[in-house]
Structure 1
Amino acid sequence: MIQPYEKIKARGLPDNISSVLNKLVVVKLNGGLGTSMGCKGPKSLIGVRNENTFLDLTVQQIEHLNKTYNTDVPLVLMNSFNTDEDTKKILQKYSHCRVKIYTFNQSRYPRINKESLLPVAKDVSYSGENTEAWYPPGHGDIYASFYNSGLLDTLIGEGKEYIFVSNIDNLGATVDLYILNHLMNPPNGKPCEFVMEVTNKTRADVKGGTLTQYEGKLRLVEIAQVPKAHVDEFKSVSKFKIFNTNNLWISLAAVKRLQEQNAIDMEIIVNPKTLDGGLNVIQLETAVGAAIKSFENSLGINVPRSRFLPVKTTSDLLLVMSNLYSLNAGSLTMSEKREFPTVPLVKLGSSFTKVQDYLRRFESIPDMLELDHLTVSGDVTFGKNVSLKGTVIIIANHGDRIDIPPGAVLENKIVSGNLRILDH
């Protein structure tokens, strides 16, 4: 039920790449705000590489496909009430691109007061004091919202058969022609309605959801569903070797069928939150991958790590902005000059959490081709053309400041204390 990517790739590409691509729709989950990185507005509008935002890179990738194969692969954005208005404003800039862009909104649910178990919202309006009373209910809402928007029927009417769904902040989630071929030309003739791309866990991914087999069906198990007593077991890299990248390939006809039968069954994740005023609330959410058990003939494909390149923090941002990756037609690929295929482990401290602070602390992005591990804590700034190799740990204690001078080469170094070098 979980196939190695090499086996899928060995089947080669279809003779008719264009006609296969013309049956595909790319869907990006675009409901999130950039608040965790100190930004206002949709996360997809944060600049990640050479002034390009997540959305720019996505549009470039699909436009490149459409031009290369003379196809018409559309982009669909699932917005939330938080991101819809800002996203729609920015979409005008792509009007001359060779990509049709559609949007639909996911639902808006009322937050629940943890004590009274009643909705926090006083009425259905979304304004003023009421804005904190609502939330988008997780990406599992895609099935109902897509169907209710009418866009699902429109796309089926245009001959589209599969959607490729992924998080807009996963820069590794590009259209893979081998997986698409496997779906369009199933080896045993039995169409596969749902593919989940999984990849091997590293220490950085111990919280990722995993696939299990239960009663002959694949199921997604998320950490939020695991009883406290079993959390360490769930995080074990030896017991659960893979995790869900949230790159999913789903049959449009199957979504329509299951939606009309009301047969999509997803476990509900209870997400406790505390609002600014100190009120404890509950959000009930679902995950898009949890529906895997409702689809026929579903499959996990164990893909290379390069298909999972999420940017959740400024530590991730440093990796994708650096010379570890080269950018080509909107896609990031690991530089051939790096000797190991693994990504360095980067941990930037709280002084770097917000994008604007992070940018201020790097005069230019360091050379990281030979880096294995970087930890930075406290008030640290980097001059131009710094080179980091091996394991580098830089710790400025409270009240201290460390300025790494321009042109410095740090290899397997621990730097701590107070270091303000005024001339090189």
Structure 2
Amino acid sequence: MSEQGLTAARETMVAAGVPPRAIEVFAHHYAELEAGATGMIHESDIDPLDPPPRLADAQVDESQMRDALARTVVIKLNGGLGTSMGMDKAKSLLPVRGERTFLDIVVEQVRRVRSVYDTDLPLILMDSFRTREDTLDALTQHPDVPVEGLPLDFLQNKEPKLRADDLTPVSWPKDPTLEWTPPGHGDLYTALDASGTLAALIEAGYRYASVSNSDNLGSYPSPRMAGWFAQSSAPYAAEVCRRTPADVKGGYLVRRKSDGRLVLRETAQTPKEDQELADDTTRHRWFHTNNLWFDLEALAAVIEARDGVLGLPLIKNVKTVDPTDPTSPEVIQVESAMGAAVEVFDGAVAIEVERERFLPVKTTDDLLLVRSDFYDLDEDFHLVARREDAPLVRLDKEHYKLVRDFDARFPRGPVSLADATGFTVQGDWTFGAGVRVVGEVTVPAEGSPGTIDDGTVLEGS
């Protein structure tokens, strides 16, 4: 049955115009799935990452930064819809600081580096078939962003969702777009190559790529990081940060015993019996920020040497074909992580960066913090924290999980968190203008639904 499934999937992808190399990558993962691969990485097969060099200790002068930036391109992953927060358009179009969206701030960060270092510094987005139209429309408001001869974006590939019972492409006539899925951000390398963007960048004289998520405003273009990477002569570098108990669900780098290579280990790749050791932040001390750098020429060489199939580890994602309908058929989405490419490059390295380079927004808890006055937006369009330890925000998922519900409950803007150490909301509360949180505060469910009046000071321990 699965052989028929792969044949049907190939035919579906060809008919949809998916590039041949992307189809071969899908077929590679399909074969692994059929063979029962789980992508698990056992604790007995790895060693913890040794202490990496620190960016704070790197000796990089202005001329080295300028030279590196002249050959660097900024690539932002922009394929996500923010479906976990109830969105139906690119998450990067969500307002995050006043009226400014993630995309607006990313553009301003790039403009600032261009101005200070007198460089073109291309900004190129990896869009998905679900985010491309809205994003390109939004970029018309920034006519100075394009660099002559280079695209504004390239399209992430797509692949069919597979029925969990027989591995055939799912059919969903109610909404045929739900029959397709992006293949995870590990598709970055295939999409760069298949779209012609990789060749165009190399032809134009660019050598280095800085890649990060569009919802992580901490991953601004770093001249210091660019200079360090150029000096390192490494083909690939992963930015890592010190793990805390709040980071145990993220991916982190380990060293494989069999060949000594760096490997990315995601939560989904951890066997249950290894979970306690995996969560030990004194053993596995650095997590992957999903900010990474690679040499464009090295990537092109690896792709050609492997006939377009990098062989990134499979991530098996089991969902329903309609994520909003748990009764719809169960499907398997075949995915990979871009950080997993660390094991593909000979001489790949890691570098420890400051926590400020990791500010992702995955939930409305994160969104409230980033929108609040705990952060200032400086002249370089960097979010600058008021102090080192950010308050932990926990909003009642029943009432605040979706952006539309969240916005309805903060109609006059976010609460002040500048003096907060923690903020928990239980129940259904609507907050007025100028509400301040001081210390560790829990708003209890008792009395809700209700309103917190304008100017209220919520004080805790």
Same fold, judged at TM 0.5 (above): yes
Separation in 2, partners of 1:26, 1:356: 31
- Residue number in structure 1 paired with 2:339: 289
Separation in 1, partners of 2:196, 2:369: 39
Separation in 1, partners of 2:51, 2:107: 30
| Alignment equivalent of 2:296, drawn from 224, 239, 252 | 252
| Alignment equivalent of 1:167, drawn from 205, 213, 218 | 213
Within 5 A, what are the aligned runs for 1:360-371? Answer: 360-362=408-410, 363-371=412-420
- Residue number in structure 2 paired with 1:261: 305
| Alignment equivalent of 1:23, drawn from 71, 82, 85 | 71
Aligned length: 400
Shift of 1:330: 5.9
Shift of 1:2: 4.6
Within 5 A, what are the aligned runs for 1:76-155? Answer: 76-97=124-145, 102-121=152-171, 129-155=175-201
- Residue number in structure 2 paired with 1:209: 251
Separation in 1, partners of 2:145, 2:134: 19
| Alignment equivalent of 2:103, drawn from 55, 60, 64 | 55
Within 5 A, what are the aligned runs for 1:224-373? Answer: 224-262=268-306, 264-275=310-321, 276=325, 277-329=327-379, 331-335=381-385, 338=386, 340-350=387-397, 351-362=399-410, 363-373=412-422
Does the 8 Å contact 1:62/1:99 carry over to 2? no
Separation in 1, partners of 2:79, 2:119: 27
Does the 8 Å contact 2:69/2:227 carry over to 1? no
Amino acid at match of 1:46: L
- Residue number in structure 2 paired with 1:385: 434
Does the 8 Å contact 1:113/1:280 carry over to 2? yes
Q: Secondary structure at the match of 2:340?
A: helix
Shift of 1:3: 2.5
Segments of 5+ residues of structure 1 without an aligned counterpart are 414-424
Closer, same or farther: CA 358–155 of 1 in aligned 2, 3 Å: same
Separation in 2, partners of 1:87, 1:65: 22
Does the 8 Å contact 1:266/1:286 carry over to 2? yes
Segments of 5+ residues of structure 2 without an aligned counterpart are 1-49
Shift of 1:97: 4.4
Q: Secondary structure at the match of 2:74?
A: strand
Separation in 2, partners of 1:42, 1:333: 21
| Alignment equivalent of 1:75, drawn from 119, 123, 127 | 123
Deviations 1:380-423 (A, max 9, x none): 122222211111001224x732422222222216xxxxxxxxxx
Separation in 2, partners of 1:13, 1:38: 45
11-20 or 66-75, which deviates more: 11-20
Amino acid at match of 2:287: F
Separation in 1, partners of 2:294, 2:107: 21
Separation in 2, partners of 1:97, 1:165: 17
- Residue number in structure 1 paired with 2:230: 184
Separation in 2, partners of 1:95, 1:355: 29
267-276 or 83-92, which deviates more: 83-92
Deviations 1:211-257 (A, max 9, x none): 11122211111111111222232122222221110000011001100
Q: Secondary structure at the match of 2:228?
A: helix
Separation in 2, partners of 1:217, 1:52: 41
Separation in 1, partners of 2:223, 2:424: 37
Does the 8 Å contact 1:110/1:121 carry over to 2? no
Does the 8 Å contact 1:172/1:331 carry over to 2? no
Does the 8 Å contact 2:64/2:227 carry over to 1? no
Shift of 1:98: 7.2
Q: TM-score scaled by structure 2?
A: 0.82
Shift of 1:25: 0.3
2:114 maps to 1:66: yes
Q: TM-score scaled by structure 1?
A: 0.89
282-291 or 295-304, which deviates more: 295-304
Shift of 1:364: 3.3
Does the 8 Å contact 1:173/1:308 carry over to 2? yes
Shift of 1:378: 1.1
- Residue number in structure 2 paired with 1:416: none
Does the 8 Å contact 1:392/1:412 carry over to 2? yes
Specify which structure has the higher proportion of strand: 1
Separation in 2, partners of 1:163, 1:128: 40
Shift of 1:355: 1.9
Separation in 2, partners of 1:222, 1:208: 6
Deviations 1:95-132 (A, max 9, x none): 1347666211111111111111212159xxxx964211
Identity %: 39
- Residue number in structure 2 paired with 1:421: none
Separation in 2, partners of 1:366, 1:128: 41
Separation in 2, partners of 1:90, 1:367: 29
- Residue number in structure 1 paired with 2:46: none
Shift of 1:278: 1.9
Q: Secondary structure at the match of 1:3?
A: coil
Shift of 1:141: 0.6
Separation in 2, partners of 1:207, 1:411: 31
Report 1 or 2 for greater relative contact order, CA contacts < 8 Å, sequence distance ≥ 6.
Answer: 2
Does the 8 Å contact 2:123/2:146 carry over to 1? no
Shift of 1:178: 1.9
Q: Secondary structure at the match of 2:382?
A: strand
Closer, same or farther: CA 330–76 of 1 in aligned 2, 3 Å: same
Separation in 1, partners of 2:146, 2:167: 48
Does the 8 Å contact 1:54/1:171 carry over to 2? yes
Shift of 1:320: 1.0
Q: CA RMSD in A?
A: 2.0
Separation in 1, partners of 2:340, 2:146: 33
Separation in 1, partners of 2:55, 2:295: 23
Does the 8 Å contact 2:56/2:353 carry over to 1? no
